[in-house]
Amino acid sequence: MSFDSTQQALRAEMLLEYFDIGIDIRPTPKGITAGCALSIGFEQAQIDVVTKIVLEENIQIKGIFLESSGQYELVFGSTIRE
């Protein structure tokens, strides 16, 4: 999950940890254009729960991406409306 601001990345980290989602704070991959150098990784099985938290808590994200063979596919976020 990538962000346009560090503030939103830190807010997302706090909320996801509060909801007991296992996360990994990491640098935003070069294949993802974002305004923030921090991204949050999580297990793909958690995507529905994470998306629900993002929507309910109004976390501003750039997108949620799935990585496959070094390529990133946007599955939720700035250009996709769920």
Q: Among 27-31, 32-36, 75-79, which is the least confidently predicted range?
A: 75-79
Q: pLDDT grade, residue 81 (50/70/90)? A: very low
Q: SS3 of 32, please?
A: coil
pLDDT band (50, 70, 90) for residue 82: very low
Global model pTM greater than 0.95: no
- Cβ atoms within 10 A of the Cβ of 60, count? 14
Alpha carbons 56 and 13: distance in angstroms, whole number: 15
Structure-block tokens of residue 75: 């599955």
Name all domains of the chain by residue range, CATH numbers in brackets. Answer: 6-77 (3.30.70)
